[in-house]
């Protein structure tokens, strides 16, 4: 079946589609065809209507616009949770910004997107950049911020160029800059591109990098809300988090909440990769069963069965198939099952996958990406990789299982940032659910090779003859 037929099949079943994915009730991907990213196209999709609603529209009671408190209250009501990884409530985060602070305050968008498996933010910036810009302007208004930056992953230069073009359009139309839409509110937004280090996605490392320094995480507290960019109060949100905001302001917090489930408002974009027929980005309401998402992605590769899933990017603990098939795709359900929804990168593994090999690959990544500031992470990630590597290469020892758990114990919770936890958690989960695969390889390494039958042996004399 070709891509067009696949889309046709989904259209026939009432599932909304766009040029590169299949969605249910999309709020961010709605109406995208891969080319209609420009300002005029976005305006035709109700673009910047939310900004007009808060700055210029007069409501039925004759009141103009929305106050900062009203915007924050609407976002709180929507139960929007940060789409960057931790799922922190966005409205609550915005309320931490000390609005009366007399000096400069900053807004930062985290488009670093380095988590293996995640590929949604780059699509948002390529195909719907104005929705991110509008979300940022609304956030800046709500928190009384006048300067913002979008920190864009450095390895994909096109997204940076596209975002710059969209910024120019927004400035020319009066949506950005001084006295936006004739109001008293001004906001300057700039694009900045990183250099491709995974650690620069961690919010304080990102701030260091944005300041032109080496991208290494800061000790917390103080948190960015009080000591952020250049030491000033700063709010950082993920690209998809900002992109969700215009819909919320246009339709109300309650409407957004109702699309998802309690405490998990709205839709979420899942980057489905691995052993499925149609990998891609899928936007579906939070709370949708995992089985439905798998179905949208065409199911597990033909002739194979589902073995395991990493539900939220490489740092999320793996879950076996039977647990995953009973989960719904939302923050609370996945946490209850023992993992994390994280960035929404769903890595599907079928029965042909070796868990030891998969863990070896993951451990190598974390060893490579450790910034080296703290000893447990710098030394421990290398240790984890070396032990998993020797098990995989047939040189494991029975004590290696305890050793892996002990090294993971000594990393988790003992580091400056969560990269240490991200390296330790997959190890513990793999051992918890797939211990038998590690033990089988270790046992094979321990079993002495049987002696060759007499006639098969070659004497030293014969060899040298």
> Interface residues with ligand SF4 (CB under 6 A)?
199, 217, 370-374, 377-378, 415-417, 419-420
Instruction: Look at residue 39 and give its three-state secondary structure.
Output: helix
Length of the chain counted residue by residue? 465
What mask of x and - would describe binding to ligand FMN in positions 96 to 135, judged by CB under 6 A?
--------------x-xxxx--------------------
Nearer to ligand SF4, 15 or 200 (CB): 200
DSSP-derived secondary structure letter, 64:
B
- Write the secondary structure of 131-156 as one string of H (helix), E (strand) and C (coil): HHHHHHHHHHHHHCCCEEEEEECCCC
Helices marked H in 287-396:
290-296, 321-324, 331-336, 355-369, 375-392
Return the residue nearest ligand SF4 (CB atom): 377
Partner in contact with 74, chosen from ligand SF4, ligand FMN, none, beta carbon below 5 to 8 Å by kind: none
| 382-441 residues near ligand FMN, rule: CB under 6 A | 417-419, 422
Partner in contact with 372, chosen from ligand FMN, ligand SF4, none, beta carbon below 5 to 8 Å by kind: ligand SF4
- Do 388 and 222 meet the contact criterion of CB atoms below 8 Å apart? no
Smallest separation, CB 341 to ligand FMN (Å): 11
Whether omega for the bond prior to residue 133 falls within 30 degrees of 0, making it cis, is: no
Nearer to ligand SF4, 281 or 370 (CB): 370
- Burial category of 192 from C-beta neighbours within 10 Å (exposed 0-12, middle 13-18, buried 19 and up): middle
Smallest separation, CB 220 to ligand FMN (Å): 10
Partner in contact with 201, chosen from ligand FMN, ligand SF4, none, beta carbon below 5 to 8 Å by kind: ligand FMN
- Do 26 and 14 meet the contact criterion of CB atoms below 8 Å apart? no
Nearer to ligand SF4, 367 or 429 (CB): 367
The two tokens of residue 94 are 């915005």
What is the gyration radius of the CA atoms in the chain, in angstroms? 25
Q: What is the size of the binding site for ligand FMN (CB under 6 A)?
A: 24
Nearer to ligand FMN, 202 or 437 (CB): 202
DSSP-derived secondary structure letter, 306:
E
Partner in contact with 129, chosen from ligand FMN, ligand SF4, none, beta carbon below 5 to 8 Å by kind: none
Nearer to ligand FMN, 75 or 323 (CB): 75
- Give the closest residue to 215 by CA, choosing from 372, 436, 25: 372
The two tokens of residue 193 are 């591109």
The two tokens of residue 145 are 């911020």
Nearer to ligand SF4, 204 or 234 (CB): 204
Q: Tell me the C-alpha distance between 194 and 201, whole Å.
A: 9
Smallest separation, CB 369 to ligand SF4 (Å): 7
Smallest separation, CB 314 to ligand FMN (Å): 10
Partner in contact with 116, chosen from ligand FMN, ligand SF4, none, beta carbon below 5 to 8 Å by kind: none
Instruction: Look at residue 100 and give its three-state secondary structure.
Output: coil
Smallest separation, CB 24 to ligand SF4 (Å): 36
What mask of x and - would describe binding to ligand FMN in positions 69 to 98, judged by CB under 6 A?
-------------xxxxx-x----x-----
What mask of x and - would describe binding to ligand FMN in positions 179 to 218, judged by CB under 6 A?
--------------------x-xxx---------------
Q: Tell me the C-alpha distance between 246 and 138, whole Å.
A: 8
Using DSSP bridges, classify how beta strands 345-350 and 306-310 pair: parallel, antiparallel or unpaired. antiparallel
Partner in contact with 243, chosen from ligand SF4, ligand FMN, none, beta carbon below 5 to 8 Å by kind: none
Q: Tell me the C-alpha distance between 236 and 88, whole Å.
A: 11
- Do 130 and 48 meet the contact criterion of CB atoms below 8 Å apart? yes
Partner in contact with 236, chosen from ligand SF4, ligand FMN, none, beta carbon below 5 to 8 Å by kind: ligand FMN
Nearer to ligand SF4, 127 or 198 (CB): 198
Close Cβ partners of 363 (under 8 Å, ≥ 6 residues apart):
381, 384, 385, 388, 389, 423, 426, 427
- Do 180 and 146 meet the contact criterion of CB atoms below 8 Å apart? no
Residues that bind ligand FMN (CB under 6 A): 82-86, 88, 93, 110, 112-115, 199, 201-203, 236-238, 241, 417-419, 422
């Amino acid at each position: 079946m070709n891509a067009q037929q696949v889309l046709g099949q989904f259209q026939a079943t009432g599932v909304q589609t766009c040029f590169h994915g299949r969605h249910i009730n999309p709020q961010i991907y709605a109406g995208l065809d891969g080319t209609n990213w420009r300002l005029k196209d976005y305006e035709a999709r109700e673009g910047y209507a939310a900004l007009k609603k808060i700055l210029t529209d007069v409501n039925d009671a004759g009141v103009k616009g929305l106050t900062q408190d009203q915007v924050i209250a609407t976002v709180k009501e929507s139960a929007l949770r940060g789409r960057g990884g931790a799922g922190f409530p966005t409205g609550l985060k915005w309320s931490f910004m000390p609005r009366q602070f007399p000096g400069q305050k900053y807004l930062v968008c985290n488009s670093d997107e380095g988590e293996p498996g995640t590929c949604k933010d780059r699509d948002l910036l390529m195909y719907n950049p104005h929705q991110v810009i509008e979300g940022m302007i609304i956030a800046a208004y709500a928190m009384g911020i006048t300067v913002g930056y979008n920190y864009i992953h450095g390895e994909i230069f096109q997204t940076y160029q596209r975002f710059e073009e969209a910024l120019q359009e927004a400035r020319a139309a009066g949506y950005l800059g001084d006295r936006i839409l004739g109001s008293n509110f001004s906001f300057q937004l700039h694009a900045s591109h990183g250099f491709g280090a995974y650690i620069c996605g961690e919010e304080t490392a990102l701030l260091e990098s944005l300041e032109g320094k080496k991208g290494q995480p800061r000790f917390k507290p103080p948190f960015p809300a009080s000591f952020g960019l250049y030491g000033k109060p700063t709010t950082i949100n993920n690209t998809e988090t900002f992109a969700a905001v215009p819909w919320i302001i246009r339709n109300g917090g309650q409407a957004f909440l109702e699309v998802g489930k309690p405490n998990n408002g709205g839709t979420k974009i899942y980057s489905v990769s691995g052993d499925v027929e149609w990998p891609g980005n899928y936007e579906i309401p939070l709370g949708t069963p995992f089985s439905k998402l798998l179905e949208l992605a065409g199911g597990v590769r033909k002739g194979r069965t589902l073995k395991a899933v990493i539900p939220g990017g490489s740092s999320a603990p793996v879950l076996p198939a039977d647990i995953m098939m009973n989960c719904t795709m939302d923050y609370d359900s996945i946490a209850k099952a023992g993992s994390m929804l994280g960035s929404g990168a769903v890595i599907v593994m079928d029965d042909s996958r070796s868990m030891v090999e998969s863990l070896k690959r993951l451990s190598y990544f974390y060893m490579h990406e450790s910034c080296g500031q703290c000893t447990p992470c710098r030394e421990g990630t290398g240790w984890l990789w070396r032990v998993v590597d020797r098990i995989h290469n047939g040189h494991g020892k029975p004590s290696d299982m305890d050793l892996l758990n002990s090294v993971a114990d000594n990393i988790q919770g003992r580091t400056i940032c969560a990269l240490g936890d991200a390296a330790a958690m997959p190890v513990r989960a793999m051992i918890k659910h797939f211990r038998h695969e590690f033990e089988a390889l270790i046992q094979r390494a321990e079993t002495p090779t049987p002696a060759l039958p007499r006639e098969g042996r070659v004497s030293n004399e014969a060899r040298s003859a």
